[in-house]
Amino acid sequence: MAAIELQHVSKTFSLSRGKNVRALEALDLQIADGEFIALLGPSGCGKSTLLHMIAGLDAASEGQVLVGGESPAALQRKHELGIAFQEHALLPWRSVQSNLELPFQIAGQKPDSARIASLIQLVGLSGFESARPSQLSGGMKQRVSIARALCLQPRVLLLDEPFGALDPVTRRSMNLELQRIWSEQRITTVLVTHTVEEALFLADRVLVMSGRPGRVLRDVRVPFARPRSAETMRDPAFHALADELTHLLEPVQ
């Protein structure tokens, strides 16, 4: 059974004055357990819409979305989906420790102090347990956001442009950190990104989507062995593949 499966999924949004927009068209997709998938495509192609449907935050107009053979809503009720967005959405009056207690409290569970401590260590924030978001850098806030998404040991991790607001140097550092975190957890992960290099560095497969309505133009299995380092991004083969995918994203003249 696929960890995530889309069966002929389409999505149409109704606008004012009876107008409709077709965001996604007849998507068929299977993602294996423990696989890291990156979604690439032009703005408005439906990448985030697709992620929201997997998360159970939106419904398909046609077709079916299954996560572990169940509906996303069923996994949501069991708190088995972890989500991190571009905006970290940390509660400013809570410390790092307290922000990581929140998922347990929402789920009606007692916060697992050992789990929280291990996640703080995993994301490299030991010593910052009492810090509030205003005392953290942008990259550190995103580390807390990713740790929070992992708190309840989800079956699937969904990341919507988590590093989009960071400067290039911090973003590259966070790519290295996310790869390390994923390598230790091996959770089925779907990443939405606009950055070709980020997709190639992090993912097992990169799905290149067309402009609206979104379809999969290319399904690329990334050939670079893990673990990947900064040297991987300097490999001529890496640059050649990045150029190839970038060309696919360029508008047709």
User: How many whole angstroms separate alpha carbon 253 and alpha carbon 185?
Assistant: 43
User: How many whole angstroms separate alpha carbon 137 and alpha carbon 68?
Assistant: 36
Which residue in this structure is represented by tokens 């389409």?
A: 10
- C-beta of residue 201 within 8 angstroms of C-beta of residue 178: no
**Residue 20 confidence (pLDDT):** 86
Of residues 6, 33, 69, 1, the one with CA closest to residue 155: 33
- C-beta of residue 10 within 8 angstroms of C-beta of residue 25: yes
Output b/e per residue, 61-83; b: 16+ Cβ within 10 A.
Answer: bebebbbbeeebeebbeebbbbb
- Average pLDDT over the chain reads 91
**Residue 252 confidence (pLDDT):** 60
**Residue 45 confidence (pLDDT):** 85
- C-beta of residue 19 within 8 angstroms of C-beta of residue 185: no
**Residue 164 confidence (pLDDT):** 84
Domain 1-80+157-163+194-253: CATH architecture, name and number where available: 3-Layer(aba) Sandwich (3.40)
pTM above 0.95, yes or no: no
**Residue 204 confidence (pLDDT):** 96
What residues in the chain have per-residue pLDDT under 70?
A: 251-253
Q: Report which DSSP code applies to 214.
A: B
Of residues 80, 58, 77, 60, the one with CA closest to residue 68: 80
Q: Report which DSSP code applies to 155.
A: S
For the purposes of burial, counting CB atoms within 10 Å of the CB of 114, is it exposed (0-12), middle (13-18) or buried (19 or more)?
exposed
Going from the C-alpha of 225 to that of each of 176, 200, 228, 238, 246, the distances in angstroms are 14, 11, 7, 12, 21
Of residues 72, 25, 21, the one with CA closest to residue 190: 72
- C-beta of residue 54 within 8 angstroms of C-beta of residue 158: yes
